[in-house]
Amino acid sequence: MPPAHPLDDDKLREECGVFGVVGVTDAANFVALGLHALQHRGQEAGGIVTHDAETGFNQARRMGLVRDNFTSADTMQILPGTIGIGHVRYSTAGSKGQTAIRDVQPFFGEFSMGGAAIAHNGNITNAMSLRRELIERGSIFQSSSDSECIIHLMARSMGRTIPDRMEEALRKVEGAFSIVAMTRTKLIGCRDPLGVRPLVLGKIGDGWALASETCALDIIGAEFVREIKPGEMVVITAEKGVESHFPFRPNRARFCIFEHVYFSRPDSILGGRSVYETRENIGRELAKEAPVDADLVCPVPDSGTPAAIGYSLQSGIPYAMGIIRNQYMGRTFIEPTESIRNMGVRLKLNVNRALIKGKRVILVDDSVVRGTTSRKIKEMILDAGAAEVHFRIASPPTAWPCFYGVDTPQREKLLAATMSEEEMQTHLGVDSLKFISLDGLYRAVGEAKGRDKNAPAYCDACFSGEYPVAPSDMIEQGFQAKTAAE
């Protein structure tokens, strides 16, 4: 697969999206639609598994986008059945940037009581130690994915049913996971005890659906029922409906706050809140915390748009589309020579010169990771004749890597890990640079008093360095987690 576009290399990226249905005719078609709606969560590869009474389990795993792989009649005909699950992938564990077909989910296993398929969103932080232990006991792995550990743990369980085996396996897993799985008749969904990654339940006719986000329910015309609770496992059949279990020790939820900032689609609902409205609130908080005299508020499209609208509404400074995104430029279409790489951002974004010339411009973006794209965008704005460029960032400085299912550079490659805000401003060459505070971000997502330092309501490790689940594999490799003194 060709390398991702240079603009995307400077963004944090989610690992996966998961989707499943039961009790519908032609389940694969529903799964394909759901995965299409979740494509923003993973663009490298996708897979679908279904079960049909006559043909048994059927599967198709492909590299690339859903629209290119799961729309033809030939492909969908090999996926009959009334139950199915699917997965879209962007690799974080395993061979980063080099996804092999063997790593594409869902994974399938045959057990004494029948077959089961599983798809996982998140990251298992003790996968390396689990893998070593399983291999020493005779397990043979077929992929480099951490998710395969769950299948092997299930195979070694003595549980009488597949849901029992899954419960036992997941009790040995650390980290973050939202899972959809299936047997011949059962659709299973589960979230880790902290509920770091999202999973929602929907109703469609006489059937049921599970999805990473509510936007995937919308596309199939399903009614949003509720979120799967942290630490909850649901077992769903067409005949009995939803049965709920809580196999884990109760824990205080720590949902990923970056889902509100960037990962989730703006038309999704998280925790009963519109993602779009939350991002607009982030922009409003940012305008309160970091005002500046300017002529225009412009988003870095598309992820900065709702926050820029909020900043404009709060500040009274006009909102304008000062940067236009080429919607059809997904990946570099020319051989990426050095000269073409230097054009990378211009292939995807172009400045509206007539609007920008002579103006003091506030650029609103969702985050600064390495800073490479921010510098190029600033240069484009100045080349177009802007009088001043001010960056306002709709998240706190990203100074720590995520180990829960988000692709994050090593800490030393994160700009905020090695520079202060003032140093970053100088490095980027802008007239001013301000990030929303962590308290401001919490207020924007509905925590009126800001962040409770003793009991934060979200996982914000990428900003605070406080990991709710110790990244044991990474610590074993020498990663220095934040100390209490810091």
pLDDT of residue 344: 61
Same domain, 285 and 343: yes
CA 384 to chain centre: 34
The answer on 359 and 412 residing in a single domain is yes
Which residue in this structure is represented by tokens 């306002």?
Answer: 392
pTM: 0.91
- Structural domain for 382, as ranges: 278-446
CA 149 vs CA 114, 140, 444: distances in Å: 19, 10, 37
Instruction: Tell me what pLDDT residue 331 has.
Output: 43
Q: Which residue has the tokens 């999704």?
A: 268
Q: Examine residue 479 and state whether it is found in any structural domain, yes or no.
A: no
Q: Is residue 290 part of a domain?
A: yes
Same domain, 336 and 426: yes
Residues 197, 148: contact at Cβ < 8 Å?
Answer: no
Q: Is residue 468 part of a domain?
A: no
177 Cβ contact list (under 8 Å, min separation 6): 120, 121, 122, 124, 170, 190, 191, 192, 197
Which CATH number covers residue 399?
A: 3.40.50.2020
452 part of a folded domain: no
CA-based nearest residue to 409, from 399, 417, 401:
401
- Confidence (pLDDT) at 34: 98
- The parts of the chain modelled with pLDDT lower than 50 are 1-8, 92-97, 331-336, 338, 341, 484-485
Q: Tell me, yes or no, whether 54 and 155 share the same domain.
A: yes
Confirm whether 454 is domain-assigned: no
Question: Both 82 and 151 in a single domain?
Answer: yes
By annotation, the residues acting in catalysis are 16
In angstroms, how far is CA 221 from the centroid of its own chain?
23
In the DSSP assignment, the letter for residue 275 is H
Residue 274 confidence (pLDDT): 97
As a whole number of angstroms, the distance between CA 326 and CA 128 comes to 41
* CB atoms inside a 10 Å sphere around CB 340: 14
Q: Are residues 242 and 285 in the same domain?
A: no
Same domain, yes or no: 339 and 239: no
Beta-carbon contacts of residue 293 (< 8 Å; ≥ 6 apart)? 360
SS3 458: strand
Angle at 402 between CA 1 and CA 181, to 5 degrees: 65
**326 plus 229 within the same structural domain:** no
φ/ψ of residue 193, rounded to 5:
-60, -25
- Whether residue 388 is found in the same domain as residue 434: yes
Domain count, the chain: 2
The answer to whether residues 243 and 356 belong to one domain is no
| In a shared domain, residues 414 and 348 | yes
Q: Tell me, yes or no, whether 466 lies in a domain.
A: no
Assess if residue 58 is contained within a domain: yes
CATH of the domain at 207: 3.60.20.10
Q: What is the pLDDT of residue 304?
A: 92
Q: Which pLDDT score, from 0 to 100, does residue 102 have?
A: 92
Q: Are residues 217 and 312 in the same domain?
A: no
The predicted pLDDT at position 406 comes to 85
**Which amino acid is located at 332 in the chain?**
T
Asked whether residue 477 is domain-assigned, the answer is no
Distance CA 65, CA 89 (A): 10
